[in-house]
Chain A
Amino acid sequence: MHDTRTNTNRAGRELRLAQIGLHEEVELVRIDLPDEQAEPLLERGLLPGCRLCPVRLSPAGDPVVMVDGTLLALRRETADCLCVRLARGLAD
């Protein structure tokens, strides 16, 4: 998707899941949602520290991500609340 240079520039920086291209593996840093709304995400394995990867966009442009071998469909609004950083060592 992206060439190595953009990846190194973005590496380590915190991004929003919504800004991540398809098939880029990232690590979840933080969920910017109140506990009640974050809990369903936590229950399904969207935990700080987990690896996730957007694999597809729905026809309306909402992301489908792969976490722990499970496919999860999110709304864009939710993806905007997920703080991620590019997983290290994936660029090479």
Chain B
Amino acid sequence: MSASGPRSVRRPAAPGSEAGSTATLGERSQAPPTRPLVALVGPPNAGKSTLFNQLTGLRQKIANYPGVTVEKKLGVVDLGDGLEVELVDLPGVNGFSARTADERITRDVLEGRAPGLRAPDALVLIVDSTRLEPHLMLVEPTLALGVPTLLALNMADELHARGGAVDPSALGEALGVTAVETNARTGQGLDQVRRFLRAVAERGPLPERACPAVSNVAKGTPLPMADQFARRRRHIAELTRRAGFRAAGPSALTRRLDALFLHRVWGPLIFLVVGVVVFQAMFTWATPFMDGVEAVIAGSGEWLAARLPESWFRSLLIDGVWSGVGSVLVFLPQILVLFLFLGILEDSGYMARAAVIADRLMYRVGLQGRAFLPLLSAYACAVPAVLAARTVEDERDRLATIFVAPFMTCSARLPVYALLIAAFIPERPLLGPFMGTRAATLLGLYALGVLAAVGSAFLLKRTLLRGEPSSFLMELPPYRVPSLRSLGLRLVDRTRVFLRRAGRIILLVAVVLWGLTQVPRVDGGAPPIDESALAAAGHVIEPAIRPLGFDWRIGVGLVSSLAAREVIVATLGTIYGVEDADEGSIQLQAALQRDLDLGSAVALLVFFVFALQCMSTVAVVRRETGGWKWPLIQWSYMLALAYGGAFLANWLI
């Protein structure tokens, strides 16, 4: 999978490349349209992405629509004989009210107003047959577009298994479209979808035209909204009646599993177990892989260093680029483990139940149920947590979740905590043999983070993200066995997105920080670190951090830890001239005890609880919020809190 990511990055500008190459699909769409564009439309959980993956395989390109966080998923469907269509997978939506970013993008694409995409030449509507009527309500407004349309009645096998029935051709006739039964997971009915796409490809793109508006309810009519919906609902009921539709009976499996997963006692208990397993998996199961990645990066760096002549270029490559890339890659195992679990939970249908269980608790804080697992995973690392916040549908709740996630004590803070606690907190029993002062301090730091997160969410929902409380409404989809193919493609997706988007910014910062350690040149080489520009930066900020009880050495550590929190340990080691410094180093602890007193040590701990010293997180937040606004607010807010908290701690103790 790692091979396909870079390939699609590095070869984007090959306009004349041969048809059928896997890498360059998005760029060619700007050429005169030879391939028709087909839009895939449907509600969430109807199997839209599965169908998209089945049709396009790995010939996908994911980008963001400009200025928003909605992912633009484009793929090419090869239909044989050199015939191809371009497929755009629209986000799953519940309607066309344009209330959420997803709904606005869907509407814009359908109306041909999305930048860089022309109006679709055909539509594939996909609905869950077991929820046919409400889903038809949703897709019916798109028929007004008047383009060739295929209606895929997905999960048809489940409809029949649960005693339901529908005549696809009669339904298609009533709606004026082609309707086929499919099962995107097994591939059943896929040949009919491809036959439709082939006809679209043979006909070629439609001429330029004005598209009618797509909306839930007609604008400017005196009829109240509820009545307009009710009228459409009656119309749908009439159509499905003509198509001999018989609704699926209740799913016995879903009823039995819900009796367990939403049980008054077992439900929360199972929820807790699931949470602990996800947490454990990220913390412990991913660790060997992370160590492996680190070893490979370090090993290959050394191998490369041994083969290059001593020069500034070698230093840039090894100390700048290599370690910068390494600091990104090391998160990959955690991200993959988390997304594997989230994928299983989401695709199986459990996630919606977990959200219902967590909702009351999170609602009190100003968040909502779906934010629970992202926040839990932030204990391992904020980067995957921010990415996982996508599961929170409501835009304001999602932003609030992203905003508070870095307050959770991530694993990168632990080395710093361990070093400072070992150096400054004497070990004494507090609760008999169960807890000593050091463990209590660590627990206190975790609690401080939670407190900051809860307080900030509360504050945020009353200031920047104020608004009517969204009516929490969670559809509980039937339980289903997740498909391996879907899970796999999702992981490939996440890997590509993470490496490409976060990688660029992190590389830049890593190279800049490296540059600061290289100037001014001494005898044509790098200066000792306490004479470098990085040290100068430490001296420059010294007046600012003096009130916190920090001197310039800690300042250098703070500046270097902008890259990643744990870097401060190595930097302090370098400054104090301690070889092979890690958090267990006695020498380093002794050096710190000379320069800090208890007050300033606690201040430093508090600073690390609050401050957002992690460029990976900043980069990912920028990506996930579609601009610099949120990461800047977040970074400044957390810095202000860190400064204030550290000042208070130093002053009090």
Contact = CB atoms under 8 A, between A and B. Distances in A.
Given A35-B225, A36-B468, A48-B226, A58 B262 contact: yes
Given A58-B356, A59-B357, A75-B363, A68 B131 contact: yes
Interface residues of A, number: 38
A42 B225 contact: yes
A72 B262 contact: no
Interface string B336-367: 00000000000000001000110110010000
B230 A47 contact: yes
A58 B226 contact: no
B230 A48 contact: yes
A40 B471 contact: yes
Interface of B: 94-95, 97, 99, 130-131, 133-134, 137-138, 216, 225-227, 229-230, 233, 247-248, 250, 254, 258-259, 262-265, 267-268, 352, 356-357, 359-360, 363, 468-477
Nearest to B368: A75
B473 A60 contact: no
Contacts of A86: none
B258 A56 contact: yes
A18 interface: no
24 contacts: A39-B99, A41-B473, A43-B137, A43-B229, A44-B94, A44-B473, A47-B226, A49-B233, A57-B264, A59-B264, A60-B359, A62-B360, A64-B258, A64-B262, A69-B133, A69-B134, A69-B247, A71-B476, A71-B477, A73-B475, A74-B471, A75-B363, A75-B471, A78-B471
A8 interface: no
A30 B457 CA distance: 33
Nearest to B360: A60
Contact of B248 (A38, A48, A62, A69): A69
A4 interface: no
Contact of A37 (B131, B227, B356, B471): B471
A70 B134 contact: yes
Most central of B94, B267, B356 by chain A CB within 10 Å: B356
Interface of A: 30-31, 33-45, 47-50, 56-60, 62, 64, 66-75, 77-78
A83 B581 CA distance: 67
Given A36-B99, A56-B262, A64-B262, A45 B137 contact: yes
A59 B94 CA distance: 26
Contact of B95 (A35, A39, A72): A39
A81 to B, nearest CB: 8
A46 to B, nearest CB: 8
Contacts of B97: 39, 43
Nearest to A49: B230
B226 A69 contact: no
Most central of B94, B357, B473 by chain A CB within 10 Å: B473
Contacts of B268: 59
Contacts of A62: 356, 359-360
Given A38-B226, A50-B233, A59-B264, A45 B472 contact: no
A60 B356 CA distance: 9
Nearest to A45: B134
A39 B225 contact: yes
B475 A44 contact: yes
Contacts of B471: 33, 37, 40-41, 74-75, 78
Contacts of A36: 99, 468
Contacts of B262: 56, 58-59, 64
Contacts of A41: 471, 473
B517 to A, nearest CB: 53
A26 B233 CA distance: 18
B474 A70 contact: no
Contacts of A70: 131, 134, 475
Nearest to B271: A59
A38 B230 contact: no
Contact of B475 (A31, A50, A72): A72
A50 B236 CA distance: 13
A47 B233 CA distance: 8
B143 to A, nearest CB: 17
Contacts of B94: 40, 43-44
Given A37-B471, A40-B471, A42-B225, 11 more contacts: A33-B471, A43-B95, A44-B134, A47-B226, A47-B233, A60-B357, A69-B134, A72-B473, A73-B352, A73-B356, A75-B471
Contacts of B229: 42-43, 47
A47 B262 CA distance: 26
B216 A39 contact: yes
Contact of A31 (B226, B248, B254): B226
B56 to A, nearest CB: 28
Nearest to B247: A69
A75 B359 contact: yes
A56 B469 CA distance: 24
Given A45-B137, A50-B233, A78-B471, A72 B356 contact: no
Contacts of B137: 43, 45
B48 to A, nearest CB: 17
A31 B226 CA distance: 9
Given A39-B97, A44-B475, A78-B471, A59 B134 contact: no
Contact of B263 (A40, A42, A45, A59): A59
